[in-house]
Amino acid sequence: MKVQAVQTRLVNKEQLIQYYRRFRRWQHALPQYVNRHEGESVRCHNCGTEYADNFCPRCGQRAEVGRVGWKSIKDNVALLWGLDNRSLVYTLLQLFGRPGYLVRDYISGHRQVSFPPIKMLVIVCLFVVILESIFHLENDVLPLKFKIKEIDMVIEWLNSQKSWATLLVNSIYILPTWFVFRYAPGYPRHTLPEGFFLQVFLSVQSLLIGLISSWSGLLEGAISITYTYITYYQLFGYGWWSTLWRLVFVMLMYLFVVLMVVMAMLVNTYDKSERDDMIVGFLFLLPFMILAIIVMLVVTNRYNKRASRERQPA
């Protein structure tokens, strides 16, 4: 019996290893284009061109398009909600199973295999808002109250525009990410527009994580930070520790910008004496914050440049 139990454990361990290796292969696999009409002649119903591919090379219409029928209704509804060949569901599975590799595929040109990210953000936000209203969940983008009418009105408006507010808040990461990760080995050509789409994908992540863990703000924050870390690790190709300290720098820069915005809003809401005290305190802290940001930028810039030169072939 003991021998049989040991063998069972070994088999289970081997199965787990095989599952893990299969999962890793799926994570690293490049998108593949499948030609469903290879070797057959198709005539385009739109322009009359003959070809042997999924789409007409002249006008771009799909090969399967024909007379309007019940299937046409199904296909158009599926296209609207992201259930066609560029499946929203499949893209979301990739976003949580291989987030950094998905983003790298998209920004490097493999765009036909994933659902359009901005459209995905809007649809996911609509889905989240509907579920929150049905189950009476509270999951604000900015769960803050300053008891100051002007600021609370801005926060209330942002929470009512969940998709764009989430993207706006995450967009603060774009510039720090570009500064810190632009010499990364996994994607050394990182640009600001690519950083925008990275934050769109992360905004979708954030909305869904907020829905899943709406009962605990601490859990939501932990899962969001973990997934952001995994995304940066897979996208930029640094090691676990190298990604961690760079991401910490990015988040510190993010907090600096947020603090500047909050302080500017608060200063404009107090009377003159309170405003003067706040300005003095803020001006006292400002040089230290700017110095810390400069040190972080200089350290990462020099370290990343040196590492980039060492990676180049002699």
Amino acid (one-letter) located at 236: F
Q: 206 vs 6, which has greater pLDDT?
A: 206
Residue 34 has pLDDT above 80, yes or no: no
Provide the pLDDT confidence category of residue 72 given band limits of 50, 70 and 90: low
- Residue whose structure tokens are 């603060």: 172
Is 175 found in the same domain as 101? yes
Quote the domain boundaries for residue 158. Answer: 87-311
Is 127 found in the same domain as 110? yes
Is 135 a domain residue? yes
Average pLDDT over residues 82-96: 78
Is 270 found in the same domain as 147? yes
Provide the pLDDT confidence category of residue 270 given band limits of 50, 70 and 90: low
Is 297 a domain residue? yes
Residue 7 has pLDDT above 60, yes or no: no
Residue 310 has pLDDT above 70, yes or no: no
Is 123 found in the same domain as 57? no
pLDDT of residue 168: 83
Is 163 found in the same domain as 49? no
Average pLDDT over residues 283-298: 74
Residue 93 has pLDDT above 60, yes or no: yes
Give first-to-last CA distance, the chain, whole Å: 60
Is 29 a domain residue? no
DSSP 182-224: TT-SS-TT--HHHHHHHHHHHHHHHHHHHHHTTT-HHHHHHHH
Is 179 found in the same domain as 270? yes
Residue 130 has pLDDT above 80, yes or no: yes
What is the phi/psi pair of residue 36, to 5°? -75, -10
Provide the pLDDT confidence category of residue 6 given band limits of 50, 70 and 90: low
Q: 170 vs 282, which has greater pLDDT?
A: 170
Residue 2 has pLDDT above 60, yes or no: no
Could you report the per-residue pLDDT of 248-264, keeping only the tens digit for each? 989 988 888 877 777 76
Select from 26, 50, 80 the last residue of a domain. Answer: 80
Residue 85 has pLDDT above 60, yes or no: no
Structure tokens at 164: 């764009």
Structure tokens at 96: 């949580």
CA 132 to chain centre: 21
Average pLDDT over residues 82-89: 67
Percent over 70 (pLDDT), the chain? 75
Which among 204, 146, 126 is positioned nearest to 170, based on CA atoms?
204
Beta-carbon contacts of 65 under 8 Å, excluding residues fewer than 6 positions away, are 45, 46
**pTM, to two decimals:** 0.81
Is 24 a domain residue? no
